[in-house]
């Protein structure tokens, strides 16, 4: 948040401070590169806490398995099969 405030101040100083000179380019560089630095600083702070990996399979309680239904009680299944082509494709290249 502080870096973004400095960036806004750089934008304002770049436009307001006259006569324009070498310091205008310093303000422009601050306005351009401060967002990049803010992202780098924010991402480095996230690495401070190292957490240990936990195997997720050990955390899940196994539910009792349901008995397998016989084939007669299985739900209806629609099967789609292709039939062989009955006629040859036409050749339109003539």
What sign results for the dihedral spanned by CA atoms 61, 64, 65, 66? Answer: negative
Q: Profile the chain (94 residues) by mean pLDDT over runs of 10 residues.
A: 82 85 88 86 70 70 66 71 78 68
pLDDT score, position 85: 77
pLDDT score, position 54: 72
pLDDT score, position 78: 82
pTM tops 0.75:
no
pLDDT score, position 69: 59
Do residues 7 and 31 touch, judged by C-beta distance below 8 A?
yes
pLDDT score, position 81: 83
**44 contacts: CB under 8 Å, gap ≥ 6:** none
CB atoms under 10 Å from CB of 38, counted, come to 16
């Amino acid at each position: 948040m502080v870096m973004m405030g400095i960036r806004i101040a750089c934008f304002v100083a770049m436009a307001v401070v006259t006569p324009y000179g070498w310091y205008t380019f310093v303000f422009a560089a601050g306005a351009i590169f401060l967002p990049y630095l803010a992202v780098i600083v924010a991402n480095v702070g996230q690495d401070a806490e190292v957490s240990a990996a936990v195997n997720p399979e050990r955390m899940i309680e196994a539910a009792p398995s349901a008995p397998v239904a016989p084939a007669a009680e299985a739900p209806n299944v629609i099967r789609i099969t292709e039939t062989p082509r009955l006629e040859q494709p036409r050749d339109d290249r003539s």
